[in-house]
Amino acid sequence: MKQLNLNKLLSQALDLHRNGSIDKADEIYLEILKNNPDNFDSNHLHGVVLAQKKDFKTSTIYYEKAYKINKNNCELLNNYGISLKNIKNYQKCEDVLNSCISINASFVKSYINLGNCYAVQKKYDEALKVFNQGRKIDSSDIRLTKNIIGIYIEKFNKFKNSDDLFHCIENLNQIDVNETFDHKTICNYALVYLWNNDLDKSYNLFKIAEKKSQIVPELKTLLKIKDKSVLSHFVKHEYEQICHIDSDIDGIRNMKITQKFFDSLAMINSKNYENYSKNDLSFISTIHKIKYNKPPKTKSSLLNPMLDFKSIQNEYHTSNPSICVVDNLLSDSFYTDLNVFYRCANIFKRPYPRGYVGTFLGTGMANKPILQFSLDLKNELPDIFKEHNLSQAWAFKYDSEHKGINIHADDAIVNVNLWLTSDSANLDKNSGGLIIWKKKPDEFASFDEFNSELNSEKMFKEVNNSDSIRVPYKANRAVIFDSKLYHATDSINFDSKYINRRLNVTFLYS
């Protein structure tokens, strides 16, 4: 193959590759390799395509061929190292990336990828050393600081050493966290500040996450949803909530809803989801934006001051497994304000197939009273929560026409399940609460194995011969239990009015 033609083909392939047409680009790489198997660029770039398709093992074969041709190309060495890390050939990954640093000590990617290789092996000190070396070379590369923060978060969660939290915040204070960061990272940073009792910084970051979470889904995304009944659950809740706010029961003012918007929502709510048009789906996409989200008014006395915290802790530790039921957990004022907040905050933008809708800390639920409550609970019950910190929280509203959350376990140490809807809404006083099985998933089970609807049948088989505890529903009741125990929402028979939707709030501590 003539050099001129080869260069032209490579140029075409690179243009295709950069524009995302990796299959067409790869056809050219393979055509070149058919005629010139020792071509460095095509071996390297075909390896890149394979790695992009997650075929890391095969990619290393082509990277190795390219490496034998040119051992001094830093882009190749880094791509090779990434694939080696992904197939868990850590020692060779370290060797390749260290050799790259020897060749070109100013190539910052090498420090990032070598540090990541150490991090995945839990070699925290080595990872921090490499990331800091890279930062000395290019202090403006925020990836290095983010990786350093990530290591300190992981170390703190694992070892609960206050020095790690200090260094984490020290580095976190050096960067401007904004909407360019991914949503999960912003939420993790917000939690870090919460662990340090800095409510203001935690809240501010959760508000950034909330704004970022309101990305309107594209029409093509909604068209691809096979079971569009999930969208009807979302529409139904939005319509009922806006009608409730408009009724003035909770005294909400200045909600920015036009008559045209309301009429469109009412029309779509009256439709069968199987008949949604493209225009309907386009409208449904727009209602992912939050229209109202004012926090509870309560400033103090979030917990019921009459609670016997010593007895609660004793009940938790003497039960086997660890489960305790706490009635009247919230102060009267906070219970009332929290109900108004969840009824009126337009933040339930995550619908689920079983009819319920949800919100999370990073999607609108976080506010100072709720964050303070999570700290107060931990501080008043130290023998239960110990060194464990809030790792996630959410709220779900249910539809009595459907079932609640199926069997699952949560990846945390302590689970606090709090119920808010008035007792008068529950039409069956013996149900509506929670079923907890005295059984945990296998120690080595993956998250999906114990927290996915797809594996519910397998989970039911696991608990088939296990005893269970049924905790009936009661307003302002919290169930605090070992989060790894299998649990599920009990059967629901609540009044169908919006104000009577079953509402539970969950706090996880890890």
Considering the domain architecture, whether residues 335 and 253 belong to the same structural domain is answered as no
3 state DSSP class of 367: coil
Amino acid 171 reads: N
Considering the domain architecture, whether residues 255 and 390 belong to the same structural domain is answered as no
Q: How far apart are CA 68 and CA 148, in angstroms?
A: 33
Q: How many CA atoms lie within 13 A of 278 on its CB side?
A: 3
* Confidence band of 299 (pLDDT split at 50, 70, 90): confident
3 state DSSP class of 277: coil
- Looking at every residue in the chain, the average pLDDT score rounds to 96
Whether the per-residue pLDDT at 426 is higher than 80: the answer is yes
For residue 222, the model assigns a pLDDT of 97
For residue 347, the model assigns a pLDDT of 98
**133 in a structural domain:** no
**463 in a structural domain:** yes
* Confidence band of 255 (pLDDT split at 50, 70, 90): confident
Considering the domain architecture, whether residues 420 and 489 belong to the same structural domain is answered as yes
For residue 3, the model assigns a pLDDT of 63
**227 in a structural domain:** yes
Considering the domain architecture, whether residues 378 and 420 belong to the same structural domain is answered as yes
b/e 299-323 (16+ beta carbons within 10 angstroms → b): eeebbbeebebeebbebbeeeeebb
Considering the domain architecture, whether residues 363 and 500 belong to the same structural domain is answered as yes
Q: How far apart are CA 146 and CA 461, in angstroms?
A: 42
What share of the chain in percent tops pLDDT 90? 95
3 state DSSP class of 481: strand
**300 in a structural domain:** no
Length reported for the chain: 510
What's the whole-number mean pLDDT along residues 452-481?
96
Contact 481, 393 (CB under 8 A): no
* Confidence band of 192 (pLDDT split at 50, 70, 90): very high
pLDDT digits (tens, 9 = 90+) for 62-113: 999 999 999 999 999 999 999 999 999 999 999 999 999 999 999 999 999 9
If residue 115 lies in a helix (H) or strand (E), which one and from where to where?
Answer: helix 108-120
**456 in a structural domain:** yes
What's the whole-number mean pLDDT along residues 421-446?
96
**414 in a structural domain:** yes
Whether the per-residue pLDDT at 1 is higher than 60: the answer is no
CB within 8 Å of 102: residues ≥ 6 apart? none
Q: How far apart are CA 100 and CA 381, in angstroms?
A: 52
* Confidence band of 419 (pLDDT split at 50, 70, 90): very high
pLDDT digits (tens, 9 = 90+) for 380-392: 999 999 999 999 9
Domain count, the chain: 2
Whether the per-residue pLDDT at 454 is higher than 60: the answer is yes
Considering the domain architecture, whether residues 407 and 318 belong to the same structural domain is answered as yes
* Confidence band of 300 (pLDDT split at 50, 70, 90): confident
User: Which DSSP state fits 228?
Assistant: T
**24 in a structural domain:** no
Write out the residue range of the structural domain in which residue 267 sits. Answer: 219-286
Considering the domain architecture, whether residues 237 and 273 belong to the same structural domain is answered as yes
Q: How far apart are CA 489 and CA 418, in angstroms?
A: 12
What's the whole-number mean pLDDT along residues 169-176?
97
What's the whole-number mean pLDDT along residues 4-24?
92
Whether the per-residue pLDDT at 271 is higher than 80: the answer is yes
Considering the domain architecture, whether residues 341 and 240 belong to the same structural domain is answered as no
**223 in a structural domain:** yes
Q: How far apart are CA 8 and CA 337, in angstroms?
A: 68
Considering the domain architecture, whether residues 375 and 234 belong to the same structural domain is answered as no
Considering the domain architecture, whether residues 400 and 471 belong to the same structural domain is answered as yes
CATH number at residue 503: 2.60.120.620
pLDDT digits (tens, 9 = 90+) for 98-112: 999 999 999 999 999
Considering the domain architecture, whether residues 268 and 320 belong to the same structural domain is answered as no
278-286 vs 259-269: helix axis angle to the nearest 10? Answer: 120
3 state DSSP class of 394: strand
pLDDT digits (tens, 9 = 90+) for 28-70: 999 999 999 999 999 999 999 999 999 999 999 999 999 999 9
Contact 408, 451 (CB under 8 A): yes
Contact 123, 114 (CB under 8 A): no
Considering the domain architecture, whether residues 313 and 282 belong to the same structural domain is answered as no
pTM of the predicted protein model: 0.95
Q: How far apart are CA 489 and CA 172, in angstroms?
A: 39
CB within 8 Å of 222: residues ≥ 6 apart? 228, 231, 281, 284, 285
